[in-house]
Amino acid sequence: MSYEVEAEGYKGPIGLLLSLITSQKVDLWELSVSGLVDDYLNELERMRVLDLEIATEFLVVASTLLELKCRRLFPSQYSGDLDEDFAFFEERDLLLARLLEIKTYRDVSGVFLELIDKAAKSLPHAGMLDEPYASMMPDLLLGITPERLANSLARFAIPELGDFVDTSHLPEHPVSISQVARDLVLKLIDIRQCSFETLMVQASTRFEVVVGFLAVLELYRQARILINQENSLGEIVIEWIAEEFSTDELDEFLENSGFHLAE
């Protein structure tokens, strides 16, 4: 489902609005981005549960509209109709690439849901084989004698050591979730800006990396950091923008975020 907008010169899905702007069927100057944002915030207040798909689509389109308006409002360092045409095509291609990326992830999630639904309707065959396959089954007792059965029973009667359990994948020392989150926050406050890879360079297990990533998401949700990623699967750059934590504030953050409860 797409978020519906109603503005001067256009009424319909917000994703289609962006496509019409790039094809010059809707004038960008007739649209009020601030009005779209106000209507969207009012719509969020009416929602009982936030729809991440609608929120993501709106944020991408709104940010792209702002970028398009800014590029056309501020004078370019180049002049001439040819340069303007190249700039427009660049904006259009970037916009289409972003919309295509969103559509790809959305369609893939739909395929997964369809596969899950189909798998839920599959039932195993619990009965015996039907003919002619039943008569093709080999005799499972062929060659089995009382002596072989007795020897097998004797082997099982001898006590053996228990099965070997491989624990090499487990950390040698227990990992404290709250301590990992605490160290990450203190390091980020000290450095102020770095990549996520640099932030977790001392992590010795995948578990610590997961905890660190969850802590980063929680800090971003609380508007204490900025996260920037230039391209898909690219380097994640994190910047601390809030005031420094006091000891009590840090403990409160860990407790409210559930890191203490997960120990």
Q: Which pLDDT score, from 0 to 100, does residue 71 have?
A: 67
- pTM of the entire predicted model: 0.38
Per-residue model confidence (pLDDT) at position 9: 46
Q: What is the pLDDT of residue 232?
A: 78
Residues 6+ apart with CB under 8 A from 56: 102
Check residue 107 and give its pLDDT: 83
Question: Other C-beta atoms within 10 Å of 220: how many?
Answer: 13
The residues of the chain scoring below 50 in pLDDT are 1, 3, 7-11, 20, 23-24, 78-80, 261-263
Contacts of 164 (CB under 8 A, 6+ apart): none
The candidate with the shortest Cα–Cα distance to 76, out of 60, 68, 87, is: 87
What's the CA gap between 39 and 105, in Å, rounded? 26
pLDDT in tens, 138-179: 888 888 888 888 888 888 877 766 677 777 766 666 667 777
**What does the CA dihedral 196, 67, 11, 1 come to, rounded to 10 degrees?**
-10
Per-residue pLDDT at 37: 67
pLDDT value of residue 2: 52
The H helix count followed by the E strand count for the chain is: 9, 5
**List of domains in the chain:** 4-117 (no CATH), 177-256 (1.10.10.580)
Q: What is the pLDDT of residue 98?
A: 73
Give the pLDDT of residue 233: 78
N residues, the chain: 263
